[in-house]
Structures are given as C-alpha cells and as structure tokens.
C-alpha cells in the first residue's frame, strides 16, 4: 500500500519505502510508467532479501500520485524525485533510472551529487523530448503542438495515447543533459538493449562519450528490448548495483 508525501510545490507523491542498510536504492521510473512495474517490484524483492533500504515512487501525474500526466514536465518530475529523496532517505543513494528515469538520475547527479552514491541506468533517455519527439515530428505535427499546445501520439505500452504538450517540449529544453558538460564523480553503470526500438543504442554510446568520470561503464545486452524485464535483464540490473556496492 502506498503512503504519500506532500511536496513544497503542492504535489502529493505516492511512495513505498522499506528501511534497511545503505546505501539505499531509489528506483526512478520511466515516462508514463508507475512504481508497480516489473523492474521496481523485482528490485524491492531483491532489497528485501538483502536487508537494503529501498524506495520507489510515482512522479506527479503518474500512478497513484496527484495531478494529471499531461500537465507535467521533466522539471516537475525531477523536482518530485529530489524532494522524495531529501525527505525520505538519509545519506548517499544508488539511483536506478529506467528510460526517462535515467535522464532524471543524471539531473539529480548534477543538482545534488553529495546524495548520489552511484547510478544504474536502463535504456537511459536523456533529452528525449528534443532528440526523440521534437526531432521526429513532421512540420505539421510541430505546428499542431505550437498552435494547440498538445498532440496525441499512439502508445504501444498503453491503451490511451501519449499526450505530448508544448510545455513538455519547452521545459525539456531547460533540462537538457547533452548540451553542456556532465561530470559524474560516482560509479555509473549503463545498461542498454540492442533491440530497443524506443531508445536507440547510439544514444547510449553518445551518453558514454559525453559523460566525464573515473568509473563509467556501458553494458550492451544483445537482443534486449526497451522493457528490459526478462529474468536475464533483471539479473543484469541486480549485478550492476552489486558492482557499485563492491567499490570502496
């Protein structure tokens, strides 16, 4: 059962937390996903078996949290994540970010590096509002967004379409990662499937090339798709967290 945190911005964030040894693990979900997904629940079970602190939550407009999805943007969701971590955890945490959650993990590492013990990304999608949506829109689609403030796109992951708003695009430009230096002074483990149809493998290589740090590694998993939720993929996530644990 979820409990709730009210943020200074007036958003009510649903979360599930378990106490345990540290550094704790915080799961950051993807675009229009929630904290009941396969990866989040697998990691909670893993953390329970090892007596580790673990936190999962829904961004505003997602899952059981307050707000409408189409009213949110990257800056809001990164702010939600920051408030949750500051209010509900102590000390440095290992951030596990899936897809959009990878972008948010990198924003948090830039904004509060003292609270980040390590990062594991899964099909990280930094700047996807610009590199994905806007770059692929036709001129007619761009004009629709500018004129109407929104456009609906079909989703293969849900029955309802994605609503992409002008605010999402414009706010995304205020939170880009790849247009400025990115220093990561904590261990970073990036996971990417070669059969991912949503986040190109080249994006992972671009991020690896762009980020600066002493311990940044990319693991390509042949045949894995964007969900990255097969038993083999889930164990790969677990192993990356354990690699970070082993670092002094």
Provide the whole-model pTM: 0.96
Write the CATH number for 121: 3.40.50.1820
Which residue in the list 62, 83, 175, 226 is annotated as catalytic? 226
Active site includes 226?
yes
User: Per the domain annotation, does 168 fall within a domain?
Assistant: no
The DSSP bridge partners found for residue 14 are 4
User: Per the domain annotation, does 211 fall within a domain?
Assistant: yes
User: Per the domain annotation, does 155 fall within a domain?
Assistant: no
Query: Using CA atoms, how far apart are residues 237 and 193, in angstroms rounded to an integer?
Result: 12
pLDDT of 162 over the 90 cut? no
- What average pLDDT does the structure give for the chain? 96
Which residue in the list 99, 127, 171, 175 is annotated as catalytic? 99
User: Per the domain annotation, does 97 fall within a domain?
Assistant: yes
Active site includes 215?
no
User: Per the domain annotation, does 157 fall within a domain?
Assistant: no
pLDDT above 70 coverage of the chain, percent: 98
Determine the pLDDT at residue 225. 97
Backbone φ and ψ for 230, nearest 5 degrees, come out as -70, 160
For the chain, state the CA radius of gyration. 17
User: Per the domain annotation, does 176 fall within a domain?
Assistant: no
Q: Alpha helices of the chain — where are they, by DSSP H? A: 38-50, 74-88, 100-111, 128, 135-136, 139-148, 166-173, 201-210, 231-246
Q: Exposed/middle/buried for 142, CB within 10 Å: 0-12, 13-18, 19+?
A: middle
Determine the pLDDT at residue 102. 98
Determine the pLDDT at residue 6. 97
pLDDT of 165 over the 90 cut? yes
Active site includes 99?
yes
Determine the pLDDT at residue 158. 67
Which band of pLDDT confidence, cut at 50, 70 and 90, is reported for residue 247? confident
Q: What is the pLDDT of residues 3-62, one digit of tens each?
A: 999 999 999 999 999 999 889 999 999 999 999 999 999 999 999 999 999 999 999 999
Query: Using CA atoms, how far apart are residues 68 and 71, in angstroms rounded to an integer?
Result: 5
Q: Using an 8 Å Cβ cutoff, are 47 and 236 in contact?
A: no
Q: What is the pLDDT of residues 85-117, one digit of tens each?
A: 999 999 999 999 999 999 999 999 999 999 999
pLDDT of 248 over the 60 cut? no
User: Per the domain annotation, does 139 fall within a domain?
Assistant: no
Query: Using CA atoms, how far apart are residues 172 and 31, in angstroms rounded to an integer?
Result: 13
Per-residue pLDDT, averaged over 155-174, amounts to 89
Query: Using CA atoms, how far apart are residues 83 and 92, in angstroms rounded to an integer?
Result: 14
User: Per the domain annotation, does 61 fall within a domain?
Assistant: yes
Determine the pLDDT at residue 122. 98
Q: Residue 170 contacts by C-beta under 8 Å, 6 or more apart in sequence?
A: none
Total count of domains within the chain: 1
Domain containing 208: what range? 3-126+181-246
Which residue in the list 80, 127, 196, 198 is annotated as catalytic? 196
pLDDT of 141 over the 70 cut? yes
Residue 1 CB coordination number (10 Å): 5
Counted residue by residue, the chain has a size of 248
Sheet holding 216-221, edge to edge: 3-6, 12-18, 52-57, 21-28, 93-98, 116-122, 188-193, 216-221
């Amino acid at each position: 059962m979820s409990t709730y945190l009210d943020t200074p911005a007036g958003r009510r964030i649903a979360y599930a937390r378990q106490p345990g040894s540290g550094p704790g693990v915080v799961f950051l979900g993807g675009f229009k996903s929630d904290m009941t997904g396969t990866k989040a629940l697998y990691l909670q079970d893993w953390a329970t078996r090892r007596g580790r602190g673990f936190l999962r939550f829904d961004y505003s407009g997602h899952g059981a949290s307050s707000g409408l999805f189409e009213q949110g943007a990257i800056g809001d969701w990164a702010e939600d994540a920051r408030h949750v971590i500051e209010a509900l955890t102590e000390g440095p945490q290992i951030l596990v970010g899936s897809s959009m959650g990878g972008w948010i993990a990198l924003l948090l590492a830039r904004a509060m590096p003292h609270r980040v013990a390590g990062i594991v990304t899964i099909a990280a999608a930094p700047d996807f509002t610009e590199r994905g949506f806007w770059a692929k829109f036709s001129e007619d689609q761009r004009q629709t967004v500018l004129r109407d403030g929104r456009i609906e796109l079909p989703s293969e992951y849900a029955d309802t379409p994605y609503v992409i708003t002008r605010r999402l695009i414009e706010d995304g430009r205020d939170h880009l990662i790849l247009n400025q230096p990115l220093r990561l002074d904590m261990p970073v483990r990036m996971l990417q499937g070669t059969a991912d149809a949503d986040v190109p493998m080249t994006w992972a290589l671009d991020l690896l090339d762009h980020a600066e740090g002493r311990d940044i590694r990319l693991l390509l998993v042949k045949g894995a798709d964007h969900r990255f939720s097969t038993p083999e993929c889930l164990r790969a996530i677990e192993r990356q967290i354990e690699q970070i644990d082993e670092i002094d």
